[in-house]
């Protein structure tokens, strides 16, 4: 939870517990991270083009599959004794429902299980979906779904893509199928468009055990789902493009994200002021929703020092250039808010187990800065 120095300075305040219960906090910060994940992808599309974004998308989903699939089966209560197609289908249905996606699940047989992803697209919100070629969405399927059979020790299990948004279809869709023979690597994902697919019966769909998944755990899972994607986006960029290019792509994407969304999020949080303390209050609210430590000290009239523990990329060795790139978001928020608020990243102290401790300086100025 947020920790502030309000006992001595009263600079920022916590969210209202009545107006902002945990579920609302987690929904809001999950949406924030989801939009950042989309912003990084759209930045790569602009800079590098559709084929490169498709390759990036495949790699990031492959990373997620390796890191989450098998452990997730236990967390979701999916028995490993079930047929492989059922295991894989149930995983994608339940895990994506936890992440806030609208899903459908159909067991056509024990060897063929359909999953359907409804619009709006989770990754590409608003008009951005129109700019993304279908090869990118197909790469999403190629990055995760066909690898489940290998993870389960079933070389006969593959995934067949039947519909994708960008081809003008009403949803993304496909099915896991256990074939009667082992599949070559290139055959584990196949593209077979269909005009008609089976009905979804919500009564027959798998459900989470409410005793294991109470409301609080569901809310935190939603938050963690979104944060995991922006985390892995940055890690995948570092592996693919190196430190300097990653810092450039991520930093510029977050600048534009701030330009487009800062005012909207301020309005959601009930903020309207244009002073340094108003900017600090915005980030204090975000930190509370993210479960990050955040403290504000008033050093003088209109001069604030913020100490924040950044939990993005927790457990990773992160180059300093990446923290500077992430700081482009608050820097641009300050510019959007007022031409008379100065903000700087004073120091970063990394800690793999707790998150990086950042010190920011925020100051009201008499003259316009730009």
Q: How far is CA 143 from the centre of its chain?
A: 16
Phi, psi of 342 (to 5 degrees): -105, 135
The pLDDT score that the predictor gives to residue 9 is 57
| DSSP labels, 42-89 | HHHHHHH-HHHHHHHHHHHHHHHHHHHHHHHHHHTT--TTS-HHHHHH
Tokens for 188, please give them: 């584990």
User: E strands along 31-130, which residues?
Assistant: 103-109, 112-118
Q: Where are the domains of the chain?
A: 78-207, 222-364
Which parts of the chain register pLDDT below 50? 1-8
Q: Domain 222-364 is of which CATH architecture?
A: Alpha-Beta Complex (3.90)
Would you state the structure tokens that stand for residue 171, as one six-digit string? 């949803």
pLDDT tens digits for 201-250? 999 999 999 999 999 999 999 999 999 999 999 999 999 999 999 999 99
Dihedral of alpha carbons 328, 330, 336, 338, sign: negative
Strand-pair partners of 297: 305
What confidence score (pLDDT) does residue 5 get? 40
Task: Write down the pLDDT at residue 64.
Answer: 93
> What is the Cα–Cα distance from 330 to 261, expressed in whole angstroms?
12
Residues 6+ apart with CB under 8 A from 150: 188
Our measurement of the distance from residue 184's CA atom to the centroid of its chain's CA atoms, rounded to an integer in Å, reads 32
DSSP string of 235-264, one letter each residue: HHHHHHHHHHHHHHHHHHHHHHHHHHHHHH
| DSSP secondary structure, 132-186, as one string | S-HHHHHHHHHHHGGGHHHHTT-TTEEEEEEE-GGGT-SEEEEEEEE-SSPPPGG
């Amino acid at each position: 939870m947020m920790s502030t120095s309000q006992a001595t300075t009263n600079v920022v305040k916590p969210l209202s517990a009545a107006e902002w219960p945990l579920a609302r906090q987690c929904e809001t910060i999950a949406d924030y991270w989801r939009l950042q994940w989309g912003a990084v992808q759209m930045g790569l599309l602009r800079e590098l083009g559709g084929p490169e974004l498709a390759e990036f998308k495949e790699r990031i989903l492959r990373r997620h599959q390796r890191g989450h699939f098998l452990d997730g089966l236990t967390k979701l209560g999916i028995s490993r004794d079930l047929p492989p197609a059922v295991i894989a289908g149930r995983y994608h249905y339940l895990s994506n429902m936890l992440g806030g996606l609208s899903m459908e699940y159909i067991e056509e047989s024990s060897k063929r299980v359909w999953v359907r992803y409804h619009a709006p697209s989770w990754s590409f919100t608003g008009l951005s979906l129109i700019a993304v070629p279908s090869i990118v969405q197909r790469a999403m399927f190629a990055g995760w779904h066909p690898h489940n059979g290998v993870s389960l020790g079933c070389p006969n299990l593959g995934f067949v893509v039947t519909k994708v948004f960008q081809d003008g279809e009403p949803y993304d869709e496909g099915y896991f199928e256990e074939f009667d023979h082992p599949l070559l690597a290139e055959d584990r994902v196949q593209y077979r468009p269909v005009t008609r697919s089976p009905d979804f019966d919500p009564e027959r769909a798998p459900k989470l055990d409410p005793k294991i998944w109470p409301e609080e755990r569901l809310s935190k899972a939603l938050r963690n789902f979104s944060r995991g994607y922006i985390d892995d986006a940055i890690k995948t960029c570092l592996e693919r493009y190196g430190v300097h290019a990653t810092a450039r792509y991520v930093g510029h994407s977050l600048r534009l994200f701030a330009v487009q969304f800062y005012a909207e999020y301020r309005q959601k949080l009930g903020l309207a002021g244009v002073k340094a303390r108003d900017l600090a209050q915005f980030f204090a609210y975000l930190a509370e929703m993210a479960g990050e430590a955040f403290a504000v000290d008033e050093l003088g009239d209109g001069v604030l020092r913020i100490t924040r523990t950044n939990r993005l990329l927790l457990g990773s060795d992160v180059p300093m250039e990446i923290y500077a790139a992430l700081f482009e978001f608050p820097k641009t928020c300050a510019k959007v808010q007022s031409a008379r608020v100065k903000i700087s990243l004073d120091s970063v102290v990394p800690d793999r187990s707790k998150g990086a401790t950042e010190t920011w300086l925020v100051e009201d100025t008499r003259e316009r800065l730009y």
